[in-house]
Amino acid sequence: MEDMYEKILWEGYGLRFYSGTRTRTGLVCKTDKGLRELKKARERMNNIRYAHDVKECLYRNGFTVISRFYNTMDGQPCFAKDGTLYVLEELLPSTPLDEDGKDSFVKGAETLGKMHQCAKGLESTFIQWDKERLPGQFSKRRVELAKIKRRIQRQGGYDSIDLLVMDNFNTYMEQTIQAEEFLQRAQYKDLVERAEREGAFCHHSFKGENLRVSDDGRLYVGGFEGCNSDIPLLDLAAYLKRYMKKTDGDKDGVFQILEAYQKNNPLEDKERVLLQALTIYPEKFLRLVNEYYNKRRACVSPAMQERLALAVEEEGRARELFHYIQEV
Q: Is residue 97 domain-resident?
A: no
| CA 68/CA 90 separation, integer angstroms | 6
* Domain span at 294: 102-327
Asked whether residue 135 falls in the same domain as residue 283, the answer is yes
Residue 96 maps to a domain: no
User: Which region, left, alpha or beta, applies to residue 316 given φ > 0 means left and ψ of -120 to 50 means alpha?
Assistant: alpha
Provide the residue type at 181 as one letter.
E
- Note whether 75 and 167 are same-domain residues: no
Residue 49 and residue 128 in one domain: no
Q: Of 91, 118, 135, at which residue does a domain stop?
A: 91
Same domain (yes/no): 132, 25: no
Residue 143 belongs to domain with CATH number: 3.90.1200.10
**Cβ atoms 112, 236 nearer than 8 A:** yes
Classify strands 211-213 and 95-96 as parallel, antiparallel or unpaired: antiparallel
Where on the phi/psi map is residue 97: left (φ > 0), alpha (ψ -120 to 50), or beta? beta
Give 98's Cβ-side CA count (13 Å radius).
Answer: 7
Please enumerate in sequence order all residues whose Cβ is within 8 A of that of 105, keeping only pairs 6 or more positions apart, or say none. 99, 239, 242, 243, 246, 247, 253, 257
Domain count, the chain: 2
The pLDDT of residue 299: 65
The Cα–Cα gap between 261 and 189 comes to: 23
Give the C-alpha separation, 112 to 240, whole Å.
Answer: 12
Q: What is the pLDDT of residues 223-277, one digit of tens each?
A: 999 999 999 999 999 999 999 999 989 999 999 999 999 999 999 999 999 999 9
The whole-number pLDDT of residue 298 equals: 56
Q: What is the pLDDT of residue 294?
A: 85
Q: Is residue 230 part of a domain?
A: yes
Helix (H) or strand (E) holding 115: helix 102-118
Q: Would you say the pTM of this structure is higher than 0.85? A: yes
Verify that 15 and 117 share a domain, yes or no: no
| 295, 194: one domain | yes
Which residues, other chains included, contact 108 with Cβ-Cβ below 8 Å and sequence gap of 6+?
A: 97, 206, 211, 219, 239
> Could you give the CA distance from residue 163 to residue 264 in angstroms, rounded to a whole number?
46
Residue 30's domain is classified under what CATH number? 3.30.200.20
Got the DSSP string for 157-180?
S--HHHHHHHHHHHHHHHHHHHHH
The verdict on 251 and 318 lying in the same domain is yes
Q: Name the domain boundary from 40, 67, 91.
A: 91
Predicted pLDDT at 297: 64
Q: Write out the DSSP string of 25-55.
A: SSEEEEETTEEEEEEE--S-HHHHHHHHHHH
- What are the residue ranges in the chain where pLDDT is below 70? 1, 296-299
- Of 38, 66, 91, the last residue of a domain is 91
